[in-house]
């Protein structure tokens, strides 16, 4: 196990009705906030009304930035910063999923930066501090509600890049599973795939001695497998929504990576897909994952796949190593299919036209190689893209 | 899954050599500290020298309170408060295991209380705030390094009671697994039993819908089982010590209980044993646990034992429910035996003489019944004590 410094300062208010704490929590920081949200689903499902009711009852003044896109754009960040500066706002309340929260985090950091906020995404060392932010989560997927990272897309440069800073972690997040009851089946499925992918990225490392963390990762994976289909079939099943929601936070808040040194693979490859084609992130991850697994499977890594197959998929441990590994990968793919996720790039409108360009970009953005479970070079990434077509 | 408010503010500096952050961390709060420790093992194994070197190099003034007993006494708390008040100390640095940290927590709370600190143990509502504390952990067991609770013994009244307040949580804890290399075999074993017991107390609840938390608990249990014997046989095995150390913190920091409502059983029964006989807490827990399990096993609870047996002990799930349950209990007992723990009350000097008195006290201290997995009344507790003789 490697050395680590653990700090997860975000407070979580989990459960039905927790929106009632919102006013008191905000008031520890501010009484003038920027309310950020996405395409407007929160206005249809009542979450917006809940939030506004609480803000008004507590006398908290608020301005709005709606229309934040999935794969949130640097343009929205610029707009948010402008509003905060013009109106003297000193707290950001993100109501939505990872895109809204990510966008809000970079608004919060960009507020204190004189130049264009895209500079911060390119070079996080330029971030010194951020406005405090809070979140009301409406989609279980990215875990942004409990970590300090964000992913922002620049449509002009076709770049989708991650950025993070301790000051960007939400001060608090409200996780009410009933707020995810109206999430469409396809988004629920993509969210589950995203949670599992975060967990895979942290789990698939070599000989790290972090036994406990690996078992915790398996707990998160089993939770996704146990409840993923149920949440799709019975969207108002509280137990399913609650378990998936909490899994989304724990998958990426550090618990699974402290003491390990995972360098992510599939995310780096997927970011190029959604930067170039604006596809749903979780769908891109689900498509690439089984192909990445098959591609990196070899004698050095097979034991890790055996661990995965036996512990997560309960495959008979007396089968041969490679039989277990292949079966585990097949089961992973079958699970994503059972959630209704399209499982080829062509199905989501991606052909051969940009594969080389995207593979080059993935390598470039990661400084030469992608991942460290098995470091991938350009040809590897291209092969995985082709296999996933 | 029940509603919960998650807040684990303690920072953890985990790994070899992390003592070097000590000065900087303390200086965020103070430059005049009370250094607390136990029977002096830290002077023999070099930890005391490490701490003093860092304190001196940072110019931090310190006073000492050594000799804190296992099952720490209210007398030590009184003494610590007196020193802090006399010397104008405003930070407590606990260097040791759970006893030293627990004692320090109540010194920290008692500093701000005008009356006798035993009042606070009897009625935690009297606690308003506490001095900041930090910990350097030397024994993996109680998890006190990352929670806000403490257990204090009053030898005059033969009471051993728990108390807790958010302000009592350490600001930071340094967890260097090499600091546990010199822990004797018997203490290592008792520590592992304590960690497992905390996990059992959180795990054994009925139909809680907290699937994820239950899988996380199994991860902690598997870690104890995987490394417990190894840490005893090879005390300088870093991987074993590291995994057990981190398990000790996660077992009780809230991660396994958030979203559930466990009311602890075996701890309540054990506290009477160590209050009356001053035995090692973890040993008392290990002795009682299998008997408690057998006693509460019935048609309503057998499924939980099946879950435990199949998921933790990998017992064939096609066996009969009760066969799995009994086998899981047997394996639990065999595991404790493999660690060298005496497994009967008589072996640790407890006879029939006080069983009734202790059973009455357990019931009294818990307000009528013990635990909620299966609430136990006086006759139940007495039966379990007798079975464990």
**Maximal C-alpha separation, chain A:** 66
Query: What pLDDT tens digit does each residue of chain B (389 aa) get?
Result: 999 999 999 999 999 999 999 999 999 999 999 999 998 899 999 999 999 999 999 999 999 999 999 889 999 999 999 999 999 999 999 999 999 999 999 999 999 999 999 999 999 999 999 999 999 999 999 999 999 999 999 989 988 899 999 999 999 999 999 999 999 999 999 999 999 999 999 999 998 899 999 999 999 999 999 999 999 999 999 999 999 999 999 999 999 999 999 999 999 999 999 889 989 999 999 999 999 999 999 999 999 999 999 999 999 999 999 999 999 999 999 999 999 999 999 999 999 999 999 999 999 989 999 999 999 999 999 999 999 99
DSSP E strands in chain A: the ranges are 4-6, 11-14, 32-36, 61-65, 91-96, 133-137, 149-154, 159-164, 172-175
**CATH class of the A184-387 domain in this structure:** mainly alpha
The reported pLDDT for the residue numbered A182 is 96
| Residue A171 distance to chain B (closest CA, Å) | 11
| Residue B28 distance to chain A (closest CA, Å) | 16
Q: Using CA coordinates, name the residue in chain A closest to B258.
A: A14
Do β-strands B91-96 and B11-14 pair in parallel, antiparallel, or remain unpaired?
unpaired
DSSP letters spanning A93-112: EEEESHHHHHHHHHHHHHTT
Q: Where in chain A is the domain with CATH 1.20.1090.10?
A: 184-387
Q: Taking a C-beta distance cutoff of 8 angstroms, is the pair B273, B151 a contact?
A: no
Residues 6+ apart with CB under 8 A from A255: A8, A213, A216, B255
Q: How many CB atoms lie within 10 A of CB A302?
A: 16
For residue A48, is pLDDT > 90?
Answer: yes
The answer regarding whether domain B11-179 maps to CATH 3.40.50.1970 reads: yes
Tens-place pLDDT, residues A253-265: 999 999 999 999 9
CA distance A33 to A29: 10
- Alpha helices, DSSP H, located in chain B: 22-27, 41-44, 47-57, 74-87, 98-110, 118-122, 185-203, 211-233, 238-250, 266-277, 281-296, 302-313, 321-338, 355-365, 378-387
The reported pLDDT for the residue numbered A2 is 96
| Residue A292 distance to chain B (closest CA, Å) | 27
Within 8 A of B1 by CB-CB distance, chain A residues are 14-15, 177, 238-239, 242-243, 246
| Mean pLDDT taken over chain A | 96
A120: Cα within 13 Å, side-chain hemisphere: 29
Q: If you search the block for the tokens 């709005």, which residue do you land on? A: A64
Within 8 A of A215 by CB-CB distance, chain B residues are 218-220, 222-223
> In this complex, which of B14, B239, B255 lies closest to A209 when CB atoms are compared?
B239
Q: Taking a C-beta distance cutoff of 8 angstroms, is the pair A126, A96 a contact?
A: no
Q: Using CA coordinates, name the residue in chain B closest to A246.
A: B212
Sign of CA dihedral A27, A30, A31, A34: negative
B40 burial type by CB count under 10 A (0-12 exposed, 13-18 middle, 19+ buried): exposed
Within 8 A of A247 by CB-CB distance, chain B residues are 212
CA distance A74 to A325: 41
Q: Taking a C-beta distance cutoff of 8 angstroms, is the pair A196, A188 a contact?
A: no
Which has the closest alpha carbon to A60: A86, A22, A95, A96?
A: A22
**CATH class of the B185-387 domain in this structure:** mainly alpha
The reported pLDDT for the residue numbered A56 is 97
When scoring B175, B215, B240 by the number of chain A Cβ atoms within 10 A, the one with the most, hence best to mutate, is B215
The reported pLDDT for the residue numbered A160 is 86
Within 8 A of B227 by CB-CB distance, chain A residues are 211
Residues 6+ apart with CB under 8 A from A45: A138, A179, A181, A182
Q: Using CA coordinates, name the residue in chain B closest to A256.
A: B216
The reported pLDDT for the residue numbered A207 is 83
CA distance B125 to B234: 45
The reported pLDDT for the residue numbered B158 is 85
The reported pLDDT for the residue numbered B333 is 98
ipTM of the complex: 0.95
Q: Where in chain B is the domain with CATH 1.20.1090.10?
A: 185-387
For residue A222, is pLDDT > 90?
Answer: yes
Do β-strands B159-164 and B149-154 pair in parallel, antiparallel, or remain unpaired?
antiparallel
Please give the structure tokens belonging to residue A251. 């998958």
| Residue A332 distance to chain B (closest CA, Å) | 19
List C-alpha distances in Å: B93 to B64, B136, B147.
10, 8, 15
Which has the closest alpha carbon to A8: B223, B194, B250, B15?
A: B250
Q: Where in chain A is the domain with CATH 3.40.50.1970?
A: 11-179
Tens-place pLDDT, residues A276-335: 998 999 999 999 999 999 999 999 999 999 999 999 999 999 999 999 999 999 999 999
Within 8 A of B251 by CB-CB distance, chain A residues are none
Split at pLDDT 50, 70, 90, the class of A275 is confident
């Amino acid at each position: 196990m490697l050395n680590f410094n653990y700090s997860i300062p975000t407070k979580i208010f989990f459960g039905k009705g927790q929106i009632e704490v919102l006013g008191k929590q905000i008031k520890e920081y501010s009484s003038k906030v920027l309310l950020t949200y996405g395409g407007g689903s929160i206005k249809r499902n009542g979450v917006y009304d809940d939030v506004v009711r609480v803000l008004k009852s507590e006398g908290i003044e608020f301005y709005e930035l709606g229309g934040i896109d999935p794969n949130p754009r640097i343009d929205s960040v610029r707009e948010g910063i402008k509003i905060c500066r013009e109106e003297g706002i000193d707290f950001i309340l993100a109501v939505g999923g990872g895109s809204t929260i990510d966008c809000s985090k970079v608004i919060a950091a960009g507020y204190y930066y004189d130049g264009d906020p895209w500079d911060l995404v390119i070079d996080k060392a330029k971030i010194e501090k951020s406005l405090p932010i809070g979140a009301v989560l409406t989609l279980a997927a990215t875990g942004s509600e409990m970590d300090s990272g964000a992913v922002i897309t620049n449509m002009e440069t076709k770049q989708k890049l991650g950025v993070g800073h301790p000051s960007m972690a939400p001060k608090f997040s409200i996780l009410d599973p009933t707020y995810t009851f109206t999430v469409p089946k396809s988004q629920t499925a993509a969210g589950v795939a995203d949670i599992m992918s975060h967990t895979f990225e942290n789990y698939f490392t070599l000989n790290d001695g972090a036994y406990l963390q690996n078992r915790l990762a398996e707990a998160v994976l089993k939770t996704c497998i146990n409840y993923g289909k149920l949440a799709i079939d019975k969207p108002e099943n509280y137990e399913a929504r609650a378990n998936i929601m909490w899994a989304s936070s724990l998958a990426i808040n550090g618990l699974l990576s402290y003491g390990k040194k995972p360098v992510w693979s599939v995310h780096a490859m997927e970011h190029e897909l959604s930067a170039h084609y604006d596809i749903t992130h979780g769908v891109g991850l689900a498509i690439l994952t089984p192909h990445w697994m098959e591609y990196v499977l070899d004698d050095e890594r097979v034991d890790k796949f055996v661990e995965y197959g036996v512990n997560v998929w309960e495959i008979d441990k007396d089968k041969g190593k490679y039989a277990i590994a292949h079966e585990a990968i097949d089961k992973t793919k079958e699970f994503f299919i059972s959630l209704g996720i399209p499982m080829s790039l062509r199905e989501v409108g991606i052909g051969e036209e940009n594969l080389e360009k995207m593979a080059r970009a993935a390598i470039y953005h990661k400084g030469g190689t992608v991942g460290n479970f098995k470091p991938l070079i350009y040809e590897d990434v291209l092969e995985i893209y082709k296999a996933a077509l």
